[in-house]
Amino acid sequence: MKGKLDIDFDKHPHYQEDNPYGAHYGQAIGRLQWTARDSDKDEDTILGEARDMLAQYTFKGCRDVFGLGAPFSLMKEMYGDVLACNAAVVARILLRRDGDAEALSFLMNLYEEGAREGFDRDHEFLLNRLDSRTLVPMRRLVDAAYLRRAGFTRPDRVLLAIGDCQTIQLAEWTRYLLPLPGLDMFSYQHNLRSFVTSGLAELIRPVGFFFFVNTSIQYGALSWMEGKRDELLDELRFIVDWLKEQRPQRCVFVTHVFFGMDQAINVGKVPRERAEDAVTGFADECAAILAKAPGARLVKLTDVCPLRRDTAPFRDNPAGALIQHYKFNTMARLAERIAHELEDLKG
């Protein structure tokens, strides 16, 4: 394992919210979420915009800006996601037009280009970002041959990281910190149930598993989650039951994840009792369920960043209702603890 992530996150330009890729990142996410029903753009326009942006954001361009072997940064995440989201848009539209072969050829060419530019899966994370945005639209075409062409050499021995953007961020830090000999990393920005029902679970076997447990955020910071307490706990039980079937060597969970509690109450209009329960009794219940997973290791976020009610630990706009994204110094310290727990994984 590499040493501590000794980075001045407040001063390093690659970690600033205001960076050259921010506008294109927002456009790429919007394009990924596009539907004709709520847009004045037609499908041909969206496809043309996605292809134009892919001409600007390339694997070579990423290598030229960041180099190989660089750690996670917000700029690098945005660059990779602009590439991956626009690739997913192109693939989705081609599939909608019955262009299965064209979509497959398009994506395989991208994966092969990434490998040629040095973004192999043994040392780099960029192909994982492409996976995370494209595997859902491509899921009915994904088989063992697809994974081989996409650069997986050990799909039967993977470190599986499934969850939201903070799980994926920590997975990228982990890829940087750990050599993971004999393992592939498989990162997927969706929930485990979608992974299992997509058929991907029939092709992938986890030796290790990692999840940044955002369940308390869902329960305590989202106004429409009223009455969903038991349902959310059942989702965690589903994860544990599936992991017991898979029997990985090690499962690491970042637990006791909190959010801007006062903001959720005052701006998001979440009932105070639910917001407070989410980061206390509910968080403890989540941890107790996940502790039953095989080889479970719990990394308490509150050991790294003590629980607070205000927005100080977060990098979200303090005027927003949902405050959930932790500052990079906290995420880097979490990554070091996660890497330590996964250090002895054997391929």
CA-nearest of 310, 228, 302 to 262 is 310
Band (266; pLDDT cuts 50, 70, 90):
very high
pLDDT at res. 4: 78
> DSSP 3-state assignment of 124?
coil
pLDDT at res. 309: 97
Whether 250 has a pLDDT exceeding 80, the answer reads yes
The fold adopted by the segment(s) 154-347 is: Rossmann fold (3.40.50)
Residues 27-46 have a mean pLDDT of 90
Please give the distance of CA 298 from its chain centroid, rounded to a whole number.
19
**Encoded tokens for 291:** 């502790």
Band (270; pLDDT cuts 50, 70, 90):
very high
pLDDT at res. 346: 76
Residues 119-135 have a mean pLDDT of 96
pLDDT at res. 3: 74
| Least confidently predicted of 29-38, 82-91, 233-242, 273-282 | 29-38
Find the DSSP H helices in the chain.
22-32, 43-56, 59-66, 74-96, 100-116, 126-134, 144-149, 165-177, 192-198, 215-221, 229-246, 261-266, 272-278, 281-290, 301-304, 328-342
* Contact call for residues 270 and 264 (beta carbons, < 8 A): yes
Whether 60 has a pLDDT exceeding 80, the answer reads yes
Query: What is the SS3 assignment for 25-41?
Result: HHHHHHHHCCCHHHCCC
CA quadruple 275, 278, 281, 284: dihedral, nearest 10: -160
Number of neighbouring beta carbons within 10 Å of residue 127: 23
pLDDT at res. 314: 97
Band (119; pLDDT cuts 50, 70, 90):
very high
pLDDT at res. 31: 96
Quote the mean pLDDT of the chain: 96
Single-letter amino acid code for the residue at 48: G
pLDDT at res. 143: 96
| Predicted confidence (pLDDT) per residue in 182-232, tens digit | 999 999 999 999 999 988 999 999 999 999 999 999 999 999 999 999 999
pLDDT at res. 320: 87
CA quadruple 45, 21, 32, 39: dihedral, nearest 10: -50
Query: What DSSP state is assigned to residue 244?
Result: H
Residues 317-339 have a mean pLDDT of 95
**Encoded tokens for 95:** 């599939």
For residues 193 and 216, give the distance between their C-alpha atoms in angstroms, rounded to a whole number: 18
Whether 40 has a pLDDT exceeding 90, the answer reads no
| Predicted confidence (pLDDT) per residue in 160-196, tens digit | 999 999 999 999 999 999 999 999 999 999 999 999 9
Residues 285-312 have a mean pLDDT of 98
| Predicted confidence (pLDDT) per residue in 67-112, tens digit | 999 999 999 999 999 999 999 999 999 999 999 999 999 999 999 9
Range(s) within the chain of domains with CATH label 3.40.50.1110: 154-347
> DSSP 3-state assignment of 161?
strand
